[in-house]
Structures are given as structure tokens and as C-alpha cells.
Structure 1
């Protein structure tokens, strides 16, 4: 306290300049006309503030190098803030506390702290949107671990959701777009490894910071809900609150035609979650009885197989009531054939869920290895994986092998090598084509992941039996463009469609 008291007494320009930069309306950093107008002496005042602050640090024997970003970088951000926040109405601006803190950190020359505040604003807005949508539906689609899902009940439990789970879940239920997810996944990465969230020496420029501000505002904070997302919200509320007659069910079912494959899968998973909860009313289940048979026609095979696996998990965990409800769900659509013969598939899927949760969370380098060893124990040296979870098994191994873009979990990596070496030709082809999956494509933004993907392709070259697959591997390795854009390249799209027919 005495140290700070001395600073404010002996460095009066601190309060004067900070007031000019952040508070004083005469500074007018942002005008309503979206024009920047900095007073002619503002550059000098900011420089005086910086010199005073750095002088204080130096006089107390503290480091001064690389503490604050250059003044011209701060001015770059200020000049672009008006354009970035034009999407926000006055009410939303008045509630954007962390954007104010973002601007304060920019003025102070602390861009790493500014990025942290920007991410806080984005996460806060996403949580608010989820809370106003349908929490149960979100939890059912955002959380992989069944045990964790049981502990999530209301809005207060949103704090238990990792940032990665939050943006994944928001994408699944349509609160953000696929492009928005990709951008947010990158900003999350930068927040984790280039902001004040962790010790680091990474540099952030003014243009980068303003671009991230625009992305968070456009893709989350000011993004209106799509018509489909709004209709799904109404449908979920209707299913829980009202009686749906046969005639009304027929009318509602016409809406399913407009769903994408992913939206149909997500809605079916949401209905499964509602149906198998113990507190769901009998009337709600009757409503689902009337709607589910029509929706089932739009659900893809891997998702249908997943419902069988989830039934198996209830059996394995001796959750008798959920087990009975899950079987009833499958009986409504004559889907009992999707129940796996062996409950080992449920155990493997649980291990995959735990591994993904550890990999996507913080401190993954320490948390991944035990779950990797558990997966190896279940799969064994033969690599025998039930068909129902084959795709999930392959994509999970590809994701963890590629790393999170920051570093390798060295204690788990040898296990990943052993499991990938056990791939058969079908699994190898799935892994080659994994660049077409949204999560894998997003990882391929990062240089480390790109290198690991090329390494993976070399490992798989001897396993694929199709000459077309070998040619695709060669094309990918020699591809000079950004790997995360390959899924949108029509040249690759045609080959993916042709090779997927081999998988079946």
C-alpha cells in the first residue's frame, strides 16, 4: 500500500493522463459517427503516462522491457474501435463491462490483458445465450461425459463447462455458425497461450486485437439467432409444456425437412436426453413418441448407432431406469437393432469421452496419459473396435495425435502411435479423410497440428489399399495452401465423396 501511495504522490501525471485516456469525454476516443478524433496532445499524454509508469517500475528495481506495447499499436486499436462496435446497440454497449476493461487495458498498453477481457465478454455472452435457450438441450449436446452430464442441472452449472465445451455445444445447437466456431477456437487458443491467462512472451499487434474484437462481436455478441434455431427452441418448449396431438405432430414434422443433417442429428440427441431423464413427464414422452418416427428418417447411421451405444452405457453403469427409458426410445422407432452385442463398446466410448475431455481442457499434458492408457487397455494389442464406435474411435485418436497446437503430451504420444499402427485399411482411410471433419479442420489452423497431420499420413500410406487414397495422401502432403481450407476445396471434396463410398 505504501508503495502505491508513493507512486500516486510522486507521479501525478499517472492519474491525469489515465483520466484523459480513458474517462475524460473531451478525449472522445470513439465518436458516434464512427470517426476517431484524438486530441492533438493525446499521444504526448499517453507517452508521459508510460514514461511515468516505467520510471516508477525502474526506480523500484522492476523490469521495464516488454511490459507495454508500443503507443502506435494502441492508437491503431483506438482508431478501429468505432467500426468494430457498430454492431452493438446502445443497450448492449451499456452492458459490455469487459469491453470497457478491454479498452482500458489497450490504453494501458497491456494487450495480453485486453485479449483476456475480450474472451471474458465473449464467454459471458455465450453463457447468457445458452441460459436463455434450453439448458438441458445444450448440456446433452455439449458434454461428452455421461457422469459429468448428470451433475449439470441449471444455469449456475454453466461455470462447470470448459470454454472448449461451451463453444462446441453452442455450435451444435446453432447458437454460433461453423465459421464462427472456427474463429472462436483460434481466439481461444490465442487466449490460452498469448494472453495474460498464462505466463508467456508472445506479442500481439493492434490489428490482430481489433480483428479478434470484430470476430467476437460479429460471431457471438451481436449475432442474431437463425430462424431454424428459433424454431427448434420453440419446439423444445412446446414438447415440454403442451399436449401435442397426432394432427399437430404431422404439422410440426414438416419442419424437419428444412433441417441440415447436423441439425437433425443434434435434435434427435436432444430428444434422447429429454426422454431418458427421470424428471421428464409422461406427457412429454408421449409428445416425443409422436414426433420421433418422422425425425428418425433424417438421422444418419452413425448417430443411430450412437443411441445404441448410449443404451449400453446405461446397462454397464447399472442405471436401470435410464436403461429402460433408452430402450423405450429405441422401440419407438424400431431401433433395437442398434443396441450393440457387446457392452465393451460402451466402455470404450466412455474412455474416448474422458480422453477428449482431458485433451481439450487445461493441463492436458498431465491429464491425458491415464485416459490414453485406459483406452489402450480396452482396445488391446489387436485394435479390435466395435463397428458402432469405429468412426468416433478413429477421429478421437486423430484429434489427440494432432495435439492442441501448443505442445505434445509426450507421456501419451507413444500410446497414440501404437493404437494408430493397429488401424485396419478402413480406419486408416477414415483418418486420411479426417481433414473434412469440422473439429480436425479447425485444428489444422496451427503449424504443429499441420506437421503432425503430415506425419500421420506417412504412417497411413502403407495401410490404405485404394490407389485413389494413396494419390490423395500425396496431394495433401504437397498441398501448398492452408490445410484448414482443404475441406472447402471442391477438388478435394469430389475425392472425399468417392472414397467415403469405400468406407460405406
Structure 2
């Protein structure tokens, strides 16, 4: 999920500035005359008037709490025709706000993002303007467009303001453009994401199983941070879940948080998770690889893995169900295995290579034996049959004429035949492939 920007309020009261022309124009003329310098060393009266007329519209867009003494000094500089000084005041206001954005993000969290344990308030104050802009972009406090325009403003301020010996002069239009960019890209009411303290998150994960409100609070914090940190957090949670040394409470907390974001994982996050899974395979770490497969299965993200791995998961789950079905006290033992296969098929597409095994096992267990069927597991079987794809329906209709256990039961036991016929009736006629219509009608005659 990307960060949501809050549009600046458009109902802020208008800003009305006093008319300074009657005061500034004669004052500037008298001052330059007294010093014996040409009047044109300062901005002309019409330039000042034009800039002054545009200030109220631009200042109105700056949130009131950011209109501090620097904005006042900027106005005084404009009234005096000192656009180079006005630029410096605006830039200083922008820098102060960018530093505050970092503070609101969380100075204690920044070292975790940058992997720089020495970062603190003093480090923030010592950053050069270019370094501050780069930090804000890394923390997603400003976007790429913001960085581009603010970096241009930084270059303008360094070359054409009173901060350094100027390389040239700026006119009223260039100043107004500078003010507009700083207002839009730094002095705005855009949403300020807060970083997640991963050390606190890690401690909470290991402490005890999350209560609902505790889990929701961490989910809210993760939701409100920026995408790059969310990616790091999800990879960390995946690692905790897959680590054999992790306590069960930590693993359950980790997977619970990830499940709530399963449908909103960014492409970069999905890629990072798959990379970690492939690392486990490459290192031959079977324990972590197995846990990782369970992680992807629970999140309904098996499609990210190789077809062979997904095939193995479905066929393994199917064979476990069949083994239980053929075992002692099967009617009592089947439900959890049937439920697991149902959840697996709900969240993930059954690979074509695994469909034959999947269909045969589901239909065999749902048809039951001469003693009946597991009533507690039947709802799971019925739901899976209703969700069969056209190819799975074809495989189901072909079962009675195959050399299989379920075929033997259907052809030799009246109860099994009746239950099989009921299963066929659950299939939507529109799902039946054309080539299988005759078999379908054999079991479900036209009304």
C-alpha cells in the first residue's frame, strides 16, 4: 500500500496584507539616494507590487501553524525588494518543516531504517540540506517529485540568495516560483507517515499472544508507515515464522499480522518474500522451507511459488486426507483434514497437475463407504465440489468408469451411488464441459 496524501484545505481564511507601496517606494528611493547608489540596485516598484499582490494567494496555502517569524521576515524582504533575502527565509522555513517531519516520523526509528545506530537529534541538526532532502526521500516523507523540485530550490538558494555570495539576481517571478515550490513540496499539510519501532514490535511479538486490540494497533502502525518499511517488516515477520527457534506465540503473532495484509502486499514485498523462500531452498534448510510453504499457504499466496511446490502441497494434503479416510475411526478423524484441504483450495488455484489426485480424494471421501460418510466433514466436501473447475468436473464424471476405490464403491454399493449422484447434482450445469454433458445427464437427468 502506498501512503495516502491529505489534500490541503481549501477553506482556509483569506490572507490580507497591508498596502506597503506608499511606504516602501519613497523609503527605498530616499535610502538609495542617501547612500549615493542607483535605485535599480533594488527591485523596481512594479516588481515589488506584482510580488506583493501574489503573496496572499500563496501564503494562504501554507497551514497557519507554519506561518512563523520566517514567513513574516519573508514578507518584509519582499516589501523592500530583497527577493534574494526572501528566498532564504522561505528555504529556512522549508528546512525547519522537513526536520520536523523526520521528528514526527520518529528519530528513534530512523537508525533502524538506515542501519545507522549513531543517528540522533544532533545528527539531524548537523545534516546538510542535500542530506536532509535525501533522508526525507528515503523515509518517504517526500516523494520523488518533491525531491526534484526541492533540490532545484536548494540550488537556487545556494547560488542566488543572501546565504552565499550570489552568482546573479532573481526577479519577482523567480521568487514567486520558488515560494510556490517550497509551499507545495515542503510547507504543506500532506500526511506525515510515522515509522514503526521494529525493536518494540519484535519484543511485543515474543512477549505473549496478541489480544485483538493489541494486534489491531500494530496493524494500524504498519499500515501508516511507508512502503519500504512495510516490506522490511513483512520479511522480518516471515523470518520469525520460519525460524525453528521462535516461540509458538511469536509465530502465531507474526502470521496473524501478515494475514491481515495478505491481499495488499506490494509487488516488491511479494518478490522479497519469494527471494527469502528461495534462499531457504538453496541452503537446503528444510525446516525453514517447510515453514515458509505453510506461510505462503496461510496467506493464500501459493501462486507466487513454483508450480512443482504448489503441486506437492495439494497432493500431499489430499493424500493425508485419503489416508485418514481409509483409517480407523475415519468419520471422527476426517473433519480437520477436510477443512485444511478446503481452506487450501479456497485461497489458491489447484494446479492442473494436481487436479486428478485432488478430485479423486475429495469425491472418494465425500462418497463414503458402506457404513456411510463423515457428517462433520461433508460440508467441506460439498463446498469443494461446488467450486470444481470444468476440468475437475470432467475428472469427477470419469471416476465411476476408472479402476479406482471410489468407482468400486459406486458400482457395488447403493448408498455410495446415491451419495455420488448427490455430489454431481451440486455441480452447476454451466460448468460441465461439452464433452462430458452426456455423462452428467446420466447422473442428473433433465427435469
Q: Provide the TM-score with structure 2 as the length reference.
A: 0.45
Q: Which has the higher contact order (CA 8 A, sep 6+)?
A: 2
Larger Rg: 2
